[in-house]
Amino acid sequence: MPPGDLKLRQSQRALLKRPIGSLIPGSGDAAWRGVLEAVSKLKPKAIVAVGDETSMLFARKEFGADLYVVDGAVMRKRVAGEVFKAKKVLRLRNPPGSISGKAWETVRKGLSIGGGAAILVEGEEDLLALVAVLEAPLGSLVFYGQPGEGLVAVQVTEAKKEELRKIVDGMEGAGRIRRKREGNVFQRPEWQHGAR
């Protein structure tokens, strides 16, 4: 595992199989009605769509997301994805079951571009929902798919960031790095004592 990468521990897998936000049951139009309800109620500062199916749902509807995070697969199976326009495409290598050291910076950059930027992940984007919540401004919404159930809407609050920081802090590799917190933004991990 390269320095700076974090790997999900076996003991954390069951925890992350449960939604980390509110479940919007169903798919397609049924899920979209739940999205519209959440967006109209919360009026988010930013919207992030994580996952190919979730991103395509947003891209096909009245308004899109500020940031899309996709890997070209649904339920680990490669898909011939529909094409949607992105304001700018960023690329990121992110191994399955991991958060790469570059994920923090890439998500932060995508959020700063906004307006339909996309991150194309080589590997797997699943755990990048955690990074999106930790990097998004307070008051944002992060959406991702919950297999066989629907969409999950995560309202970005300080309490949610703190809950997810604890998960990230428990990942393999977290002991080698130090995290800095400035204001409400979770910063990309920095190296301790310059060691790599």
Q: What is the mean pLDDT of the chain?
A: 84
Task: Report pLDDT for 63.
Answer: 78
- Rounded to an integer, the average pLDDT of 157-173 is 95
Domain locations along the chain:
1-9+20-98+116-148+169-181
DSSP the chain: --TT-EE--HHHHHHHHS-SSEEEESSHHHHHHHHHHHHHHH--S-EEEESHHHHHHHHHSSS--SEEEE-SEETTEE--PPP---S-EEEEEE-TTEE-TTHHHHHHHHHHH-SSEEEEEEE--TTHHHHHHHHSPTT-EEEEEETTTEEEEEE--HHHHHHHHHHHHTSBTGGGEE--EETTEEPPPEEGGG--
**Span of 54-58, 91-95, 175-179 with lowest mean pLDDT:** 175-179
Indicate whether 119 pLDDT > 50.
yes
- pTM score of the predicted model: 0.84
Residue 77: band (very low, low, confident or very high) from pLDDT cuts 50, 70, 90: low
Indicate whether 176 pLDDT > 50.
yes
Task: Report pLDDT for 168.
Answer: 94
Residue type, 174: A
Indicate whether 135 pLDDT > 80.
yes
Q: How do residues 80-111 score in pLDDT, each as one tens digit? A: 655 567 889 999 999 999 999 999 999 999 99
